[in-house]
Amino acid sequence: MLVVIPAILGKTPLEQVRSLLKDGRFVDGRLSAGTRARQVKHNEELQSTATQMERLNSIVMGALVQHPLYQAAAMPVRVATPFYARYTPGMRYGDHVDDPVMGPPGGQYRSDISTTVFLNEPESYEGGELVIQTGFGEQSFKQAAGDAIIYPSSSLHHVAEVTRGERLVAVTWTQSMVRDPARREILYQLYQAREGLLKNHPGETETTRVDHAYVNLTRLWAEL
Ligand code: NI
């Protein structure tokens, strides 16, 4: 399931993020890559002071993690500290699957869901699409600044070469309380039905039944 969560960051936070990134120090992204990814990864990642990172993370992750659609679609139990990546002309990230287990010893988590938050406007660079293989073929994403996309970390994906301008994104991973992507999708569909019913038919028996089914199916499938 691919879900675009529109406008998690508004104009002012985006400006703050971009100004923090402008002053930051970027290093070769291969330093943080696994063996396989190192062969196809060609980008740069922010390596800033702890204070700058904290400010960035509180803006970006604060907005993402509190978003109701992210909560409903990802059902997070652990969320990683993000990377801030920059792609300038000639940079790309070839086809790969994200590492299954990430994080430092003692703080490891399973990556069930990958998230990309787009930090600059799509018109300001050429190329740089996030291309994800799905059961229905390839899907390509180049979202507005402030949008987030979540997709299963198990899917093969790449970032197309940037040919003009620069692409700025934050990327992070989530361990979900529902490990199976098919189950997460069912829960998300039921969540959407329940939200609609609670809004439009709050007092009806069907609403209560769908609400109960959603809550109890979550209880059945959630692992903490
Ligand atoms: Ni990836």
Q: Specify the amino acid at residue 185.
A: E
**Chain-centre distance for alpha carbon 130:** 12
Global pTM reads 0.95
User: pLDDT of 152-207, one tens digit each?
Assistant: 999 999 999 999 999 999 999 999 999 999 999 999 999 999 999 999 999 999 99
Beta-sheet pairing, 157-159 with 130-134 = antiparallel
Give the distance (Å) from ligand 1 centre to CA of residue 157: 6
146: exposed, middle or buried (C-beta count within 10 Å: 0-12, 13-18, 19+)? buried
Largest CA distance in the chain: 58
pLDDT tens by residue, 85-125:
999 999 999 999 999 999 989 999 999 999 999 999 999 99
CA distances from 6 to 3, 107, 167 (A): 9, 30, 18
Say if residue 222's pLDDT is above 90: yes
Q: Any bridge partners for residue 115, and if so which? A: 150, 172
Is a pLDDT exceeding 80 seen at residue 128?
A: yes
**What is the CA(81)–ligand 1 centre distance, in A?**
15
In this structure, which residues have their CB less than 5 angstroms from ion ligand 1?
98
User: Which H helix or E strand runs over 19?
Assistant: helix 11-22
HSE-up (13 A, CA, CB side) for residue 166: 15
138 C-alpha to center of ligand 1: Å? 15
Report CA(187)–ligand 1 centroid distance (Å): 25
What local confidence, expressed as pLDDT, does residue 30 receive?
87
Distance 206 CA to ligand 1 centre (A): 41
Q: What is the pLDDT of residue 224?
A: 92
Q: Could you tell me the distance, in angstroms and rounded to a whole number, from the CA of residue 214 to the centre of ligand 1?
A: 31
Q: Using the mean position of ligand 1's atoms as its centre, give its distance from the Cα of residue 67 in Å.
A: 22
What percent of the chain shows pLDDT beyond 70? 100
CA of 146 to the centre of ligand 1 (A): 19
According to the model, what pLDDT value does residue 38 have?
81
Task: Indicate whether 5 pLDDT > 80.
Answer: yes
Q: Please, are residues 195 and 210 in contact by the beta-carbon 8 Å criterion? A: no
| Among the listed residues 130, 129, 116, 224, the one whose alpha carbon sits nearest the alpha carbon of residue 173 | 116
Partners of 29 in the β-ladder = none
Residue 176 contacts by C-beta under 8 Å, 6 or more apart in sequence? 74, 75, 76, 77, 112, 113, 184
pLDDT-based confidence at 31, cuts 50/70/90?
A: confident
Q: Is 30 exposed, middle or buried (0-12, 13-18, 19+ CB in 10 A)?
A: middle
Domains of the chain by range and CATH? 3-176 (2.60.120.620), 181-221 (no CATH)
Q: What integer is the mean pLDDT of 78-86?
A: 95
**40 CA → ligand 1 middle, Å:** 10
pLDDT exceeds cutoff 80 at 35: no
**Ligand 1: centre distance to CA 94 (Å):** 9
Task: Provide the 10 A C-beta neighbour count for residue 220.
Answer: 9
Span between the terminal Cα atoms of the chain, in Å = 21
Which two tokens mark 115? Answer: 């998230």
For the record, the structure tokens of 17 come out as 């993020």
